[in-house]
Amino acid sequence: MTKVFEGEHLLPGQLGQLFIILSFGSALLSAISYFYAANQRDQHDQSWYKLGRLGFFINSFSVVAIGACLFYIIYNHLFEYHYAWAHSSRTLPTHYIISSFWEGQEGSFWLWTFWQAVLGNILIWKAKTWEKPVMAVVSLSQVLLSSMLIGVEILGSRVGSSPFILLREAIEAPIFSRPDYLQYIKDGNGLNPTLQNYWMTIHPPTLFLGFASMIVPFAYAIAGLWQRRYKEWVSAAIPYALFAVMILGTGIIMGSFWAYESLNFGGFWNWDPVENASLIPWLVLISAVHVLIVYKNTGHSYFTATFLTLISFVLVLYASFLTRSGILGETSVHAFTDLGMFWHLVIDIMVFLVLMVGLLVLRWKELPFSQKEEETYSREFWMFVGSAFLALSCLQLVVVTSVPVWNAMFKTNIAPPANPITLYNIFQGGFAVVIALFLGFTQFLKYKKTDATRFFITTLVYMFVAALITGVIIYITGLYKLRVVFMLAMFGAVYGVLANAKVLGDALKGKLKLAGSAVAHIGFALLLVGALIAAGTSKIVSQNETGVIRVKDFDKAGNPRENIMLYKNEPVTMGDYQVTYFGDSLVAPNHYFKVDYKRFDASGKVKEHFVLMPNSQANPKFGLVSSPDTKHYLLHDLYTHITAAPIKEEESMAAGATEASHDHANEDSHYNPPVVYEASVGDTIRFREGYMILRGLNKQPKLQNIPLKDNDVAVGAMLDIVSHGKAFKSEPVFMIKDGNSFDFARKVDDAGLKLRLSKIIPEKNKFEIMVYQQPESAKPYIVMRAIEFPYINFFWSGTIIMVIGFLMSIFRRNSELRVVPVKTGAKPVKKKPALVR
């Protein structure tokens, strides 16, 4: 008994669902076929191999088709689908429709499978002899990812969550018993306003490309163990590992840029569990890359290199479990809920963890462990130690972020640390010191063996110079007010920049292939410098001094009061600035508050003048969501956001009404009782926030729709008003018509005034003027917070430099790859015999 519903478009959903099943089936076919192809001894039988490729091509096609169906649904506002209804709305512009596409879990899973399909095709094209085993692993991952989207009932429990579920299937409500229910669903939920930012259009695809590309080094490592090609896989995997590190790093920083530009927590990094979840695999893979390079150059540390490469991908899956299973519910701001995939995600992790551990155990005896001891004065040894510390810093992140997981596993009731930001900052600051020093001094070491005396001399000279520079930086930026560990981290970062600058200098003279790592290291160290100064010495400009004792460092002990209150058109001194909230502008659904900033020099002249427009959205679903506005300088940023405002409901905002409704009966209740003045022309009337001068009388005031007869009189009082340094004009009118007297009040909203010319007193040649003032609380106001972030541009530019460095390294490692197979066996390719060991 299928009910017929009017106006539903079922075709795109059914097609989409079909392609989901097809993508799952074809991935499974591909994985199995590649598995048999890789295990086959007979080189002439190509059937499994062809079947594997075919399966993967069908999978790629279906993944693209799923995306097309979903996009069609969202783009055409087919709200009969839960996904479109939950994540988009009719008012969204196209580029945010793209963002809403991956706002939901299903969409981001799709993004992941999509990138994995793209990478798989690149591997089919490029991997040559590695194709069969590597693609078997990639396809296996594709099988598990596609299963997350299936959304069908198997043995009474739902497997995966499909983006093509209809609204009436997803939500139970009486309305869905009506065949014409669609008429009542006018619009979707819309996109969370904090996600309506251009970074949200490009940050998720970048991040998921990063996550997806981590399968490649993992697959190579598995393939190496599986096919007993223990040493070969390393060179092939390094460029992919570097690529993954580069893209994931870019994605993470884009996320922090989004946080900085559009979230109002006041910074770029918050150690939120979701942020940590993306950082964890990144740190491990970076550490893996270094150990892979160590192994490639010296033959040492094979196990560590393999282990880190393998575990980094398992950690990607673990991160995905943390953010998607709903387990972080009580600790994270991010609104991820359990889609009933808790165990599904656990299985996903377990499959790859078992695969990894199983193969390592199985092949343990054959692994090429190096019997030699590393030299103390060798680069490989210290690179190895540095990588170990990098992995340790990651361990700390995992342990702390996973507190809810420990609680679930051991039935404990541990709360996360009360002040996680400080905890992470101190710990990670400590690790940063070690890591930054390592990425500095290892540059003076050579592989195999280094001359100790020379090494110590150069290292110490650079350390001395770095210490001097650090001293200056610490003094100028005020970093000395912080904990010692952050000063040490600054020293490490400066040292890292200097040491790698030397390498870069040498590289430019000839050894160009070393340039990539030097540039990446400089970028990373600069990023540290920027993060330390910006986060460590950012200062609240909007200190509220009322009721707070102004003693230096008082705020460390007491409560810093970070918000200030601004009434409309009343300038307030805030730090070096004079700020005025002077207006609003409405671009529905955003309410922009115009805040005027002025800075004066010693003589009182305006040195600087600009307007910031932080906005808030009174969204019926999400409440008031504020986005900051930032003034960027070369050396610092000034950041302003609204923490509270008497915001109107969206409906009235859309109509453009910012002022209270014009209900005359109630209107005077918005004002204090009037004060009556008798004034002559030229007199000044003072009121609480300024004064006004009665300039003169207008015998022909403008009156709309009221024709005046001969005996009628109308007089307007021309008033010049000055309130808080701003000038206004107003002309209340007094009128005698048909023997009755009337008067027309005039309002000056920006000054919070209502004025009446209530009487003319001819005998005294005076005019009675009634002044209504708004009480303080009825005036429009905003509560805002302003923060200064010094030297934040180091952070952003460090990122860009780091990415350039990664790119250079990828090209270098890739070119090595091309040279090696051709000449192997004939003679050592480069000076290092280790390459062909």
Do residues 132 and 142 lie in contact, with contact meaning Cβ atoms separated by under 8 Å? no
Pairing mode, if any, of strands 615-619 and 606-612?
Answer: unpaired
- In the bound state with another protein, the residue whose beta carbon lies nearer, of 422 and 741, is 422
- In the bound state with another protein, the residue whose beta carbon lies nearer, of 560 and 696, is 560
State the binding string over 311-340 for another protein (x if CB under 8 A, else -): ------------------xx-xxxx-x---
Site for another protein in 726-785 (CB under 8 A): 776-777, 781, 783, 785
Report the distance separating Cα 837 and Cα 834, nearest Å. 5
Site for another protein in 106-125 (CB under 8 A): none
Residue with tokens 């490309």: 209
Helices (H), 325-402: 342-363, 379-401
Site for another protein in 378-417 (CB under 8 A): 381, 384-385, 388-389, 392, 395-396, 399-400, 403, 413-417
3-state secondary structure of 81: strand
Pairing mode, if any, of strands 733-737 and 740-744?
Answer: antiparallel
Shortest distance, CB of residue 806 to another protein, whole angstroms?
A: 26
State the binding string over 77-96 for another protein (x if CB under 8 A, else -): ---------x----------
Q: Is 174 in the site for another protein (CB under 8 A)?
A: no
Pairing mode, if any, of strands 690-698 and 713-723?
Answer: antiparallel
Pairing mode, if any, of strands 713-723 and 726-730?
Answer: antiparallel
Identify the residue among 171, 460, 676, 727 touching another protein (CB under 8 A).
Answer: 171
Do residues 542 and 563 lie in contact, with contact meaning Cβ atoms separated by under 8 Å? yes
Do residues 744 and 730 lie in contact, with contact meaning Cβ atoms separated by under 8 Å? no
- In the bound state with another protein, the residue whose beta carbon lies nearer, of 481 and 764, is 481
3-state secondary structure of 560: coil
Q: Is the dihedral of CA 669, 675, 678, 684 positive or negative?
A: negative
Report the distance separating Cα 430 and Cα 420, nearest Å. 15
Site for another protein in 61-80 (CB under 8 A): none
DSSP letters spanning 87-140: H--TT--HHHHHHHHTTSHHHHHHHHHHHHHHHHHHHHHH-GGGHHHHHHHHHH
Q: Is 287 in the site for another protein (CB under 8 A)?
A: no
- Distance from the first to the final alpha carbon of the chain: 71
Shortest distance, CB of residue 546 to another protein, whole angstroms?
A: 7
Site for another protein in 513-532 (CB under 8 A): 532
- Contacting range for another protein; rule: CB under 8 A; set: 229-237, 341-349, 369-377, 828-836: 369-377
Shortest distance, CB of residue 535 to another protein, whole angstroms?
A: 5
Identify the residue among 247, 595, 787, 803 touching another protein (CB under 8 A).
Answer: 787
3-state secondary structure of 34: helix
- In the bound state with another protein, the residue whose beta carbon lies nearer, of 130 and 789, is 789
Report the distance separating Cα 120 and Cα 753, nearest Å. 69
- In the bound state with another protein, the residue whose beta carbon lies nearer, of 37 and 625, is 625
Which of 114, 89, 91, 88 is closest to 101 using CA atoms?
88
- As a whole number of Å, the CA-based R_g of the chain is 34
Report the distance separating Cα 138 and Cα 237, nearest Å. 14
Do residues 380 and 338 lie in contact, with contact meaning Cβ atoms separated by under 8 Å? no
Q: Is 266 in the site for another protein (CB under 8 A)?
A: yes
Site for another protein in 544-603 (CB under 8 A): 544, 546-547, 559-565
- In the bound state with another protein, the residue whose beta carbon lies nearer, of 155 and 335, is 335
- In the bound state with another protein, the residue whose beta carbon lies nearer, of 429 and 701, is 429
Shortest distance, CB of residue 335 to another protein, whole angstroms?
A: 5
Cα 681 to chain centroid, rounded: 61
State the binding string over 682-721 for another protein (x if CB under 8 A, else -): ----------------------------------------
Cα 363 to chain centroid, rounded: 42
- In the bound state with another protein, the residue whose beta carbon lies nearer, of 38 and 618, is 618
User: How many residues contact another protein, by CB under 8 A?
Assistant: 73
Identify the residue among 376, 684, 815, 824 touching another protein (CB under 8 A).
Answer: 376
Shortest distance, CB of residue 381 to another protein, whole angstroms?
A: 7
Report the distance separating Cα 542 and Cα 644, nearest Å. 14
Site for another protein in 428-447 (CB under 8 A): 429
Report the distance separating Cα 648 and Cα 701, nearest Å. 35
State the binding string over 226-265 for another protein (x if CB under 8 A, else -): ---------------------------------------x
- In the bound state with another protein, the residue whose beta carbon lies nearer, of 29 and 487, is 487
- Contacting range for another protein; rule: CB under 8 A; set: 1-9, 29-37, 377-385, 765-773: 377-385
Report the distance separating Cα 397 and Cα 391, nearest Å. 10
Does a cis peptide bond (omega within 30 degrees of 0) precede residue 589?
Answer: yes
- Contacting range for another protein; rule: CB under 8 A; set: 73-81, 354-362, 466-474, 541-549: 541-549
Q: Is 623 in the site for another protein (CB under 8 A)?
A: yes
Report the distance separating Cα 181 and Cα 262, nearest Å. 37
Report the distance separating Cα 384 and Cα 374, nearest Å. 10
Shortest distance, CB of residue 114 to another protein, whole angstroms?
A: 25
Identify the residue among 486, 767, 795, 806 touching another protein (CB under 8 A).
Answer: 486
Shortest distance, CB of residue 571 to another protein, whole angstroms?
A: 17
- Contacting range for another protein; rule: CB under 8 A; set: 534-542, 664-672, 742-750, 798-806: 534-542
Report the distance separating Cα 279 and Cα 396, nearest Å. 12
Report the distance separating Cα 768 and Cα 758, nearest Å. 6
How far CA 583 is from CA of 372, 570, 628, in Å, comes to: 74, 11, 16
Shortest distance, CB of residue 672 to another protein, whole angstroms?
A: 14
Which of 281, 284, 285, 275 is closest to 253 using CA atoms?
275
> What single-letter DSSP state applies at residue 590?
E
- In the bound state with another protein, the residue whose beta carbon lies nearer, of 64 and 392, is 392
Shortest distance, CB of residue 349 to another protein, whole angstroms?
A: 21
Identify the residue among 154, 409, 418, 822 touching another protein (CB under 8 A).
Answer: 418
Shortest distance, CB of residue 370 to another protein, whole angstroms?
A: 10
3-state secondary structure of 271: coil
- In the bound state with another protein, the residue whose beta carbon lies nearer, of 48 and 389, is 389
Q: Which residues pair with 153 in a beta bridge?
A: 158
Shortest distance, CB of residue 534 to another protein, whole angstroms?
A: 10
Report the distance separating Cα 551 and Cα 1, nearest Å. 77
Identify the residue among 536, 716, 780, 805 touching another protein (CB under 8 A).
Answer: 536
Shortest distance, CB of residue 516 to another protein, whole angstroms?
A: 27
Q: Is 627 in the site for another protein (CB under 8 A)?
A: no
- In the bound state with another protein, the residue whose beta carbon lies nearer, of 476 and 508, is 476
